[in-house]
Amino acid sequence: MVLLSMMIPPFALLRGDDGAAVVIVALAAVVGALVGVKGKFARIRRRKLESGEEKREMYIPITSMSGSSRSSGFTQPGGAAAHIHPIAVLWFAVWMIIAVVALVWMAMRSEATQQDALVLWGLFWFVVLMAVGFTFLFSLKVADQWDRVIVLRLGKFHAVRQPGVFWLVPFVDTVAKWIDTRVHTTDLTAEETLTKDTVPVDVDAIMFWLVYDPKKAALEVEKYENAVTWAAQTALRDLIGKTMLAELLVGRDVLDKQLQEIIDARTEPWGVSVQSVEIREIKIPGELQDTMSRQAQAERERQARVILGESEKQIAKSFAEAAEMYVDNPTALHLRAMNMLFEGLKEKGSLMIIPSSAIDSMNIGVIGGLAALGKVKDDLTTIGGK
């Protein structure tokens, strides 16, 4: 549509239309060209947004037992036309207006002076200025702060463009890939993967990684995003297969570190560095959960019985040591027995059963009789006072 709009003014001049008609046609051509450029830019932006949504939703779960797997990759748009900056569109519009105005002015001069050569010169400058405009549109590039642009010259690596404004040589330079150097997050899911003790588990993890060498990421691997994801998925499944279920449940920190080192070693030749891998969730079958719950309960009961037995042993040992001390000291044993009796009789309504041997050894009968006589005396005193 842009090229068609640009060809309208020259055809109008060749038909011999007057200056006003040419001006109107030129303005219509400018508007049509701007609309065409805007539509093209909108389509490019839409593709980029769709690509970004695919990137955010991308994950590649692995199903090792059912044999089914699904994956959705994403690609970044490349080439000169894929990243047209608004500044380039603005300059293209400016040069297009200049070209049309120059053409109209030359046409009006030719009509006023009756010199047909001026029309040809106007067409010449129109083509030249439009070529300059298209050069600005496709050669002027602006990279964001997080972007690194891989530029090829005649098919060979030329440079890694840093953030800011840069130019491409028309028909010579091409953009191989725009590399995003920010930290990426990738979901890792391993479904029904067998552990070392043949227990199927579902593991959900997340990986944080970034591109530290854009040149390697663009030239050493076709699609570094998919390659990193597949390498991480394979490493996760391999690590689960080499780990016991108990270690998988209680040693997440160790597994995170091992997984990060394994993936980083695989992706380092591609210019990608894995910063961390975190296992978020581990799911085991429901039947196994019930079995593990019963096992844990039985283990707690066993520990409780062991602790109770150890306590009984300690108590028995303490009694044995006390008995050895009382053997050679009957007076201490007598005092201890009386103390225990006193502590028991302090409670109201208490009933104590005492062996007869203890009564004989401690003269409890005499003591009880004296206590009873004392109580009777107190009662008589109280009655006499009344």
Tens of pLDDT along 197-251? 888 888 889 999 999 999 999 999 888 999 999 999 999 999 888 888 888 888 8
Q: Where in the chain is the domain with CATH 3.30.479.30?
A: 184-284
Sheet with 156-161: list strands edge to edge.
156-161, 147-153, 173-180
Residue 321: count of CB within 10 angstroms of its CB: 9
| d(C-alpha 110, C-alpha 108), whole Å | 5
CATH, range 184-284: 3.30.479.30
Give pLDDT tens digits for 36-77: 655 665 666 666 555 554 444 443 333 333 333 333 333 444
How far lies 192's CA from each of 201, 232, 253, 263, 366, in Å?
Answer: 5, 17, 21, 21, 84
pLDDT of residue 76: 45
Q: Which residues contact 325 (CB under 8 A, 6 or more apart)?
A: 332
Tokens of 34: 């701007």
Q: How are beta strands 173-180 and 62-63 bridged, if at all?
A: unpaired
pLDDT beneath 50: ranges in the chain: 1-5, 11, 13-15, 17, 19-20, 53-80
pLDDT of residue 63: 34
| d(C-alpha 200, C-alpha 278), whole Å | 20
pLDDT of residue 48: 58
pTM for the full predicted model: 0.57
